[in-house]
């Protein structure tokens, strides 16, 4: 018998895996026709953030708050204790964070940027430097609003979409040491470490790197804080690709990684499988007292931080589900499936394939467009026009302007992100997405760029408007 059609596993010479869940409830998708998409996109100023989700077919704008909750999480929602103070769900959340992340003191916040705001206000003195492994938009903004000066100390490979180094999220210790020598340890607020690194393409940090970073920062008396938003996915890459970790469960790797840091902030809308929520957790008692005081000014009492009791319960259960090996494997392997298809077709994407998204290299799609013609924004528009798939610009628009000069920041990476929500889409959806990217690739030579018409003051990518050149 000759075999022509092959399963996904057979194509890569192994047995197939499948998602470790089955579907109990479905939400119908809607697809509008090309003419309606053209109109919707023009009305949205060619910015995918300004589209109505009813006009979107497959929504890969973000993996933030877009995951499907489990039956156990929904059941937990019904046990919400909506007391103003001391809700039992807060204590369940605190226990889950202590158990899986290991930090002693917990402050809930409504989402990640609420936590970023608090830690930045408390831990940064005006004029201090905040070195980090590449910027994230909201993280850097809160650091700057607190008077900090962000300094990128990520390894050089991170800025090269074609480098296949396995841990492109690593901090370049020499860059950090040079900054400390030049500015003095007392002028460094803390080191801001993210695992995995979103803007670099979802690239992980190795255990060896966090250990070395711990040693270096401790020697200079500098604090090390972790953006733990996608740290579970980071732990998966350590398990798969770092020597000595292959037989350790993800939960153990996560705990050990966090042990090398002094505290963390979290957007639980990603790894933790909830639609809303975040937290700050820290070992230092005095700092905790300050944070716990500030949270009541901006978010809500320190036992709810802007969340309902039911949200905290869903988060506590989601944290436990998120560290299960079979869950993380199927999540990251789904992303890889899409990435391998595109790579096979020689479509330029950031390699290695990251944990939460495929990042298309818009510079290589549109070599005829200058960065001022917004290649990544253009590609996001083209994908939507082709198929109703929504993606997100991660290039010059996202990078914003230099606060000192007012000029565009010009990142080397000009990327369009196809972000995969957790437990939401199937392999068939991934096939449809891949074919749409192929169509945009096919028509790349005749694609025209965009002109910026309007940009707001903060985080301009959310609300900027463009027109076709
Ligand atoms: C993502 C988001 C959501 C987002 C934020 C800003 C612009 C576009 C989309 C949010 C993160 C994140 C990391 C590493 C902190 C936050 C803020 N990411 N750190 O990727 O990825 O958390 O959204 O809960 O406030 O689409 P928050």
- At 175-194, the pLDDT tens digits run 999 999 999 999 999 999 99
Which residue's CA is the closest to the ligand 1 atom numbered 13?
229
Looking from the CA of 380 toward its CB, the CA atoms found within 13 Å total: 36
Pairing of strands 392-394, 450-454: unpaired
38 C-beta neighbours (distance < 10 Å), count = 12
Beta-carbon contacts of 144 under 8 Å, excluding residues fewer than 6 positions away, are: 150, 403
- pLDDT, one tens digit per residue, over 188-224 is 999 999 999 999 999 999 999 999 999 999 999 999 9
272's tokens: 């933790």
- As a whole number of angstroms, the distance between CA 396 and CA 375 comes to 9
Residue of 109, 118, 228, 229 best suited for mutating to test ligand 1, as the one with most atoms within 8 Å of CB: 229
78 C-beta neighbours (distance < 10 Å), count = 8
Determine the distance separating the centroid of ligand 1 and the alpha carbon of 379, expressed in angstroms: 21
Q: Tell me, what's the pLDDT at 17? A: 86
Determine the distance separating the centroid of ligand 1 and the alpha carbon of 112, expressed in angstroms: 7
Q: Which atom of ligand 1 is nearest to the CA of 114?
A: 25
> Which spans in 246-361 are helix H?
250-259, 285-298, 309-322, 325-344
Please identify which of the residues 46, 90, 103, 136 carries the catalytic annotation: 136
Instruction: Please state, for a pLDDT cut of 90, what percent of the chain lies above it.
Output: 96
**Stretch 136-143: mean pLDDT, rounded?**
95
Which residue's CA is the closest to the ligand 1 atom numbered 24?
112
- State the DSSP code for 200: T
Please identify which of the residues 48, 62, 66, 137 carries the catalytic annotation: 137
Pairing of strands 357-361, 415-419: antiparallel
Tell me whether residue 84 is one of the annotated catalytic residues.
yes
- As a whole number of angstroms, the distance between CA 459 and CA 309 comes to 30
Q: Which helix (H) or strand (E) holds 415?
A: strand 415-419
Q: What are phi and psi of 401, to 5 degrees?
A: -115, 155
Residue of 64, 119, 130, 354 best suited for mutating to test ligand 1, as the one with most atoms within 8 Å of CB: 64
- Cβ proximity of 12 and 341 under 8 Å: no
Q: Which atom of ligand 1 is nearest to the CA of 111?
A: 24
**Stretch 352-380: mean pLDDT, rounded?**
97
Which residue's CA is the closest to the ligand 1 atom numbered 2?
64
Is pLDDT at 430 greater than 60 in this prediction?
Answer: yes
Could you tell me the pLDDT band of residue 38, with boundaries at 50, 70 and 90? very high
Which residue's CA is the closest to the ligand 1 atom numbered 27?
112
415's tokens: 């990327």
- Cβ proximity of 417 and 394 under 8 Å: yes
DSSP assignment string, 104-165: SEEEEESSHHHHHHHHHHHH--TT-EEEESS--HHHHHHHHHTT-EEEE-B-GGGG-TT---
Pairing of strands 415-419, 392-394: antiparallel
Determine the distance separating the centroid of ligand 1 and the alpha carbon of 8, expressed in angstroms: 31
Determine the distance separating the centroid of ligand 1 and the alpha carbon of 229, expressed in angstroms: 8
- As a whole number of angstroms, the distance between CA 392 and CA 457 comes to 19
Tell me whether residue 137 is one of the annotated catalytic residues.
yes
Which residue's CA is the closest to the ligand 1 atom numbered 16?
112
Q: Which atom of ligand 1 is nearest to the CA of 61?
A: 26
Determine the distance separating the centroid of ligand 1 and the alpha carbon of 136, expressed in angstroms: 8
Closest by CA to 222, choosing from 191, 265, 192, 196, is: 191
- As a whole number of angstroms, the distance between CA 463 and CA 48 comes to 9
Angle value at C-alpha 35, between 34 and 40, nearest 5 degrees: 95
Average pLDDT value for the chain: 97
**Stretch 332-359: mean pLDDT, rounded?**
96
CA 385, chain centre distance (Å): 25
- Cβ proximity of 186 and 214 under 8 Å: no
- pLDDT, one tens digit per residue, over 75-131 is 999 999 999 999 999 999 999 999 999 999 999 999 999 999 999 999 999 999 999
Categorise residue 61: left if φ over 0, alpha if ψ from -120 to 50, beta otherwise: alpha
- As a whole number of angstroms, the distance between CA 230 and CA 223 comes to 21
Determine the distance separating the centroid of ligand 1 and the alpha carbon of 198, expressed in angstroms: 9
Cβ < 6 A, ligand 1 pocket: 62, 64, 111-113, 136-139, 194, 198, 227, 229, 267, 269, 278
Determine the distance separating the centroid of ligand 1 and the alpha carbon of 181, expressed in angstroms: 32
């Amino acid at each position: 018998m000759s075999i022509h059609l092959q399963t996904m596993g057979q194509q890569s010479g192994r047995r197939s895996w499948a998602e470790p869940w089955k579907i109990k409830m479905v939400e119908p998708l809607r697809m509008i026709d090309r003419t309606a998409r053209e109109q919707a996109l023009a009305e949205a100023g060619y910015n995918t953030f300004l589209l109505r989700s009813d006009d979107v077919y497959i929504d890969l704008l973000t993996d933030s708050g877009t995951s499907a909750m489990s039956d156990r999480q929904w059941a937990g929602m019904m046990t919400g204790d909506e007391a103003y103070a001391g809700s039992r769900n807060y204590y369940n959340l605190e226990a889950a964070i202590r158990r899986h992340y290991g930090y002693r003191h917990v402050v809930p916040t409504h989402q990640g940027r609420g936590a970023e705001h608090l830690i930045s206000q408390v831990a940064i003195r005006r004029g201090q430097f905040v070195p980090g492994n590449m910027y994230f938009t909201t993280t850097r903004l809160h650091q700057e609003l607190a008077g900090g000066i962000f300094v990128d100390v990520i390894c050089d490979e991170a800025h090269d979409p074609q480098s296949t180094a396995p841990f492109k999220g690593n901090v370049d210790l020499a860059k950090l040491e040079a900054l400390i020598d030049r500015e003095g340890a007392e002028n460094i607020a803390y080191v801001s470490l993210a695992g995995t690194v979103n803007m670099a393409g979802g690239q992980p940090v190795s255990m060896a790197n966090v250990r070395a970073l711990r040693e270096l920062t401790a020697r200079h008396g500098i604090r090390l804080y972790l953006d733990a938003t996608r740290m579970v996915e980071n732990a998966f890459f350590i398990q798969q690709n770092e020597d000595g970790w292959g037989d350790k469960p993800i939960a153990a790797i996560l705990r050990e990684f966090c042990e090398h840091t002094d505290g963390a902030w979290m957007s639980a809308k990603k790894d933790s499988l909830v639609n809303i929520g975040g937290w700050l957790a820290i070992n230092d008692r005095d700092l905790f007292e300050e944070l716990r005081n500030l949270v009541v000014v901006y978010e809500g009492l320190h036992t709810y931080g802007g969340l309902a009791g039911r949200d905290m319960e869903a988060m506590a259960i989601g944290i436990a589900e998120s560290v299960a090996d079979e869950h993380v494997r199927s999540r990251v392997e789904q992303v890889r499936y899409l990435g391998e298809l595109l790579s096979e077709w020689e479509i330029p994407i950031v390699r290695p394939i990251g944990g939460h998204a495929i990042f298309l290299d818009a510079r290589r799609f549109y070599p005829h467009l200058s960065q001022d013609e917004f290649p990544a924004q253009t590609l996001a528009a083209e994908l939507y026009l082709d198929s109703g798939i929504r993606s997100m610009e991660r290039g010059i628009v996202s990078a914003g302007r230099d606060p000192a000069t007012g000029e565009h920041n010009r990142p080397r990476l000009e990327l369009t992100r196809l972000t995969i929500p957790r437990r939401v889409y199937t392999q068939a959806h991934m096939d449809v997405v891949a074919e749409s990217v192929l169509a945009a690739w096919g028509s790349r030579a005749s694609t025209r760029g965009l002109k910026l018409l309007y940009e707001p003051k903060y985080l301009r990518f959310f609300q900027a408007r463009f027109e076709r050149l």
